[in-house]
Amino acid sequence: MVEWLGAPLEEPIFDELAIIGVGLIGSSLARAVRKRHGARRIVLSDHSSETLARAEALKLGDLATKDVAKAVEAADCVVLCAPVGATEKIGRAMRSALKPDAIVTDVGSVKGAVIATLAQLLPSYAHLVPAHPVAGTEQSGPDAGFAGLFVNRWCILTPPSGADEGAIQKVRALWEAVGSNVEVMSAEHHDLVLAITSHVPHLIAYNIVGTAADLEEVTQSEVIKFSAGGFRDFTRIAASDPTMWRDVFLHNKDAVLEMLGRFNEDLTALQRMIRREDSDGLFALFTRTRAIRLGIVAQGQETAAPDFGRPRADGNGQS
């Protein structure tokens, strides 16, 4: 694991790093930064006493405090790792405690709304460099995190125009230290890209699981038993953290509705093909979609090994 991340840095990127919100992402970041020696000191904060107690028990940082102002007061860099809906509250709690030239970044799945909120809250002597590591699992909380989560995953930075170049480089260095590839784009473009690669997929997964749960003709027990036919994968996605995802849809409303509109148009056309028994049209679509899959496997964003719902390490492979 440590080898995979790389040897500890000779010179840490930050003297003190504050992580606000110690869930799956915050706790994984704390573990990875610690292993790479990316900061001399890591301070953790969370609104939940229970989560904070787990973070302390797991020794994820040097100090753990519920007091956001205290957590950030000596930090060179503050990383907001809470659901996007908590941004304003955290921003207000930390604004007057920030050091001069403190860098403020985050991990939110939505960037336009985060920038709109923080840009007007933060003091002018702080540097805002929003980020989004495109990584995760369907699990939540400090126990679900692990140091390798960001390895070979993309992290998108969306610095507002005029952002401090030195601050951008330090946030880039932070994500590269934990194994990510970094790409820079505008917040607006980010929100559109993620709407189609992440937000709408989650929305339709939540939706079909809800549809299945409400059927009268098919029992919940049957849905569960026969889930290996494809449904299973949707339930995994639909098991993601409800608070995080509620906030994503509320804060990226326009892009999500736009992409959902296109999805619906295409689904209507597909529905029409089925009704009219357009055999060639169906075959053409089902063939075309294979190409994107090949690209994802080729770029290491997923293994090509087939998935059949069981761990791949139990000897249950090709035979």
**Residues 281-300 within binding reach of a copy of itself (CB under 8 A):** 282-283, 285-293, 295-296, 299
Distance (Å, rounded) from C-alpha 186 to C-alpha 194? 12
Considering beta carbons, is residue 162 or 311 the nearer one to a copy of itself?
311
Q: Which is nearer to a copy of itself, 57 or 257 (CB)?
A: 257
C-alpha closest to that of 87 among 57, 58, 118, 64 = 118
One residue of 49, 120, 161, 306 binding a copy of itself per CB under 8 A:
306
Give the one residue of 48, 65, 186, 243 binding a copy of itself; rule: CB under 8 A: 243
E strands present in 161-289: 181-184
Nearest approach in angstroms of CB 100 to a copy of itself is: 35
Euclidean distance between CA atoms 147 and 27, whole angstroms = 8
* Nearer residue to a copy of itself within complex by CB, 96 or 301: 301
Alpha-carbon distance of 69 to 195, in angstroms, equals: 33
Contact 155, 142 (CB under 8 A): no
Q: In the complex, what is the shortest distance from the CB of residue 139 to a copy of itself, in angstroms, rounded to a whole number?
A: 5
**Contacts to a copy of itself from residues 103-142, by CB under 8 A:** 109, 134-139
| b/e 11-39 (16+ beta carbons within 10 angstroms → b) | ebbbebbbbbbbbbbbbbbbbbbbbbebb
Which of 282, 278, 302 is CA-nearest to residue 292?
Answer: 302
Category of 145 on φ-ψ map: left (φ > 0), alpha (ψ -120 to 50) or beta: beta
Sole window of 48-56, 59-67, 72-80, 221-229 interacting with a copy of itself (rule: CB under 8 A) = 221-229
Which residues in 159-218 contact a copy of itself (CB under 8 A)?
Answer: 183, 189, 192-194, 196-215, 217-218
φ and ψ of 244, to 5 deg: -55, -45
78, containing H or E segment: strand 77-80
Determine, following the binding rule CB under 8 A, whether residue 223 of this chain makes contact with a copy of itself: yes
Determine the 3-state secondary structure of 181 from DSSP: strand
> Within positions 28 to 57, which residues make up the interface with a copy of itself, using CB under 8 A?
31
- Closest CB to a copy of itself among 82 and 237? 237
Nearest distance from C-beta of residue 267 to a copy of itself, angstroms: 5
CB of 236 closer than 8 Å to CB of 94: no
Min separation Cβ 51 and a copy of itself, Å: 17
* Piece in contact with a copy of itself (CB under 8 A), picked from 42-50, 63-71, 122-130, 225-233: 225-233
Least gap, CB of 316 to a copy of itself (angstroms): 5
Tokens of 200: 């709408």
Q: How far is the CB of 279 from a copy of itself (least distance, A)?
A: 6
Q: Could you give the residue ranges of the DSSP H alpha helices within 162-278?
A: 165-177, 187-194, 200-214, 220-225, 231-237, 242-251, 253-275
Nearer to a copy of itself by Cβ, of 74 and 285: the residue is 285
User: At closest approach, how far in Å is the CB of 152 from a copy of itself?
Assistant: 8
Task: Indicate the residue among 1 and 53 with the shorter CB distance to a copy of itself.
Answer: 1
DSSP 106: E
Give the nearest distance from C-beta 127 to a copy of itself in angstroms. Answer: 25
Count other Cβ atoms within 10 Å, centred on residue 305.
10
Stretch that binds a copy of itself, among 71-79, 100-108, 119-127, 278-286 (CB under 8 A): 278-286
